[in-house]
Amino acid sequence: MENYFEMKRTSESGTVFLFGDGMHLIHQNIPGLCWGDPKNPPMLKTNTGRQRLNILGAYNPDSHSFVHLTGEENCDAQRVIEYFDVIIKAYQRAPGIVLILDNASYFKAKIVTEWLEKHPKLKLEFLPPYAPNLNLIERFWRFVKEHLVKNKYHKKYKSFRAKVFQFLNHINEHANELKTLMVEKFEIVKIKA
């Protein structure tokens, strides 16, 4: 991550740095830990879990803001291009945008690289493989799941979907929580040989 801090230090003033990734939020109650009497175990309401929202998001650690493209559509190369359009529109005044991503194949698809050649304002930086601890948005996704699906039951998919959009579109209401969670401190795991 030394490269990240060096890029921020040497980039043109006003350049925006974002951490991006996709998440698939399933219409399902995800139980947290709890104690239960083995003779009378707690009963949890549940859904089929067959419906989900696919979220492509980008988190800005400097402004604690979040941009997303959310819907039932699958995350593929064409959807990624739509996501990039949303980002460019959100940061149209910035001289440049650096989006830090994992190595998902849809971010590296041919039509995506061709699109990026025509839109030089947006630069992609890829994290090392298998390094979710370096992608700040992974903390954000955990935060989202804690608020939307952990120990939460939504009987109808329609109300679940509305709750997700309401939460994501008003993330600024959680700014104080995010300021302490979404700090640019990264855990580097050293593996002994």
- Check residue 2 and give its pLDDT: 62
pLDDT value for 67: 96
pLDDT at 121: 96
pLDDT digits (tens, 9 = 90+) for 149-184: 887 888 888 998 999 999 999 988 988 888 888 877
pLDDT at 191 over 80: no
C-alpha distances in angstroms, 28 versus 4, 46, 137, 155?
Answer: 36, 6, 22, 9
Identify the CATH number of the domain defined by range 2-25+50-181.
Answer: 3.30.420.10
101: exposed, middle or buried (Cβ count in 10 Å: 0-12, 13-18, 19+): buried
pTM for this model (two decimals): 0.85
Question: pLDDT tens-digit profile of 13-35?
Answer: 999 999 999 998 888 777 777 77
Element (H, E) at 163: helix 157-169
Q: How confident is the model at residue 94 (pLDDT cuts 50, 70, 90)?
A: very high
